[in-house]
Structure 1
């Protein structure tokens, strides 16, 4: 705890439970709450107890405890002795008493209901540290518990990592009830012994019968845009109210304090024994699913656990039918696994597309093929080039499915109802990255020139439209002059589409999730190759170049908690096992895989890094705190 500010060093022992980066944020809470609470008044000598010698000198007392030096006045100046006694100037020995253990008690009951879920529990965490230290300093016993819990479970007397983790998991959907408070009052015999009883929660606690005689601490989150603050009102039963305002830690640190401040939890490995080994994977368009391709040709989609303590859900699997060849898979925007397969000379789309509900202007609804414009790509996707990704796209006219192959070709997948068959329409090529951001499809195109007006409808500016505004028309390749080779960012929205030229030489590109970094609203965090071993990050109003050492391969872009306020590249080392984060000024090792990595990528919607090894081990690493959120192995070890 050497990095703690001087004002927090008296609390170093209590804050040593937490990592230093969290202790720095929690320390101001503890210091300010301790000042607002004050110290527990020590028991005076009139309160009795077993005598235990003397403890200092006092101006009051009986003459059998008068100092020997004071008796000299009786021999040398009796009148001075009388005067000193009258004015209280005599000195007496002060007796000391040993207080019986448990004679004083501090009881704290915390509200774990809906009023206090989230950020207010950070103040609860700091209050537990303050109360434990307060009781220890006064020689009092300490008991605390959750108000919604049953008193039969007992109370806690310590503030340790294991106990705090149990408390963090104690959440209730019901507000505190009068019956529960009465049960605690009877179980703990509140009010019988010299003690302090504190209720910690919202102002709702004051309305509970029996709460008026208890001390209360009311915690309220300030509901003001762009402000992250808590208001804490300390209401002792016999003293004036003290109010303080506390600034909350950054969002990522707040999440760590509320989920696992000690980084002691690890994801329990999931055994994949007896199941087909995963051969590749990708994150779904919304970022909340993991789509995995298996060695037997099947595909599965799994909801990603939201924390290391969450149970890993069972994946939804789709087996490969005999005679079929898997081409691509994805997750629909409103739920459901999609898989595109090829059988003989026809395509098969597994997954039901929801039709658009009837509208008053249904006669104006366009067929799916008229909402997109043919472009330059192969007539058929190459199955040998690798498994592709399916994107579900929904606009006012209905739902569409887009196929992005590993070679960068973009196709429209649509159903010809009259012939009951699935067809593909080529839209574009040289697509290096694609994602759905803020409800829009965003992709980067970098490759040979394409005639103006081709590709997705409205992607390329056509005069006389204003710059970056698209006109929904199609110009045949022979009618449009070729444009020079360039790298462009395309944003396809429900109402309009835009195309922006990027200042990069082109090549590979990755979309990532930004935390604490300002990025353009349309594209989010974007990284693109800008020459040999040079990558360019596109931030809001600026670009940032990052050098990649020889032998390192970029697999994604994102933000790492070890370098707050910075964006960087996620790279795979020459040993094919070590994954690192490279920023403009520093780099950090993220993790080292147990076997060579065959595929790794970052999510554009969440701060996750996924990696797959040769042995079939699948790992999801949370870049916000460095914890493994999910791990699946062939042996389950």
Structure 2
């Protein structure tokens, strides 16, 4: 994001907001910053503590007079008196150790009815100013809410700003609130303690170093910001913009409430990603307490009835290697000892587990292996890609011995289903990456070279109609330090022209989205470096799609349906439609199940 020179000190916090909000915060930051004054607590403060003896001085209390001087008083009293009058006596001087200043800045906000509305936006601006103040001094910033539990929070993500906005209450700050905080801060020894609000109780100045009063003018056209003897009037922000910010809508995302459907969803594991059906109607998650998956049907808009939730279980002692959908049916590859079980996939049943040379299938993998389940007119076929680049398929008994596994090829870098009947994969051949298409009844013998294989560590495929007869579009990853660089190869750029996309440090692409409209557009679906954000890179511009209230543990993207599904550390499942920019579902998956498989 390009910022004016005056705003660059607060760049890391302003990046959380869409460009249209920057003028509002530029005005607030510019007006408030000169009022803050110098930072307290940087000098060595407190009462010096003795730390042994230091030098000899000509002055001092007589209890620290040198012993030799007292001997002179006994032997030659007149000389002792003369030396006393002339200031020639020698005294021991103690060595002092100064207490180091505390480098903690604490700010407590009034979240009550007197601070509702535009005053909360001033809270956000002040919090960013103090965060910069702490950073410049090598200090730490912590914030809390006066009416809340005495608990301090960091400012490390936009989720913390939203947390402050959501802390609104209709309770006015009382003396009891302040006393609870005063006791809690007794052990913190903050260098600065800011208290922000209106009609604040009597506050001990030895604990509170800065008292800020924010009040609305009588005519309602401005806000008054007062700190000690300094005061400034702030204009009221645009009402529509203020409402959006107060709702926590900081970015460019289209914020549509998730459907209000309710339902009980079993507790799920955080170690495996969501599995999305190509039709865009179902999402499956690995159960935490049982050997199986929970399948959730995505609700319709304005759905009032409970979610349709099913639990599908396999054998207690079987390990799951992969899970995939065929329309509404969920299938999986599970195994125990020396056999594989193609669970819920008609016509496949059991098979001998391939040797390690043919397929690397370790139990307890950190993620699902890529798998595609295709159904032809006369056969079922399950494709599986292992961690070593070996691609194999198992086919129904009409075209092969029952349970026989066929290794298609090696050196495969990626695979994806691009429509109901087709999968594509890319393999390295003679230093080039070549893409191929396959169906339930066979695969193409000729492919499309999309670029050099050297340095490419990942490939993403777009779901387009072009794959039916030609090349459909992909993106190739090369990693450079902390940032990803992608080569975008589309049907109209193939085979010559390729777009280069360099992502900001820490951002990762998890999918390649294709949107059909007046013109075809390809975009990268992104996971943010703070693990709270899902974004989109499209036509040279990066934007935020949505943010979560807890860190994202696992994220999946389905190119066929255009859905992103994320599972947070709080076990909240969020499903977002990229093309429509709408949240399809938000549901907590943390309830223990008491019954058997339903």
Higher relative contact order, chain-length normalized (CA < 8 Å, sep 6+)? 2
The normalised TM-score by structure 2 is: 0.46
The normalised TM-score by structure 1 is: 0.44
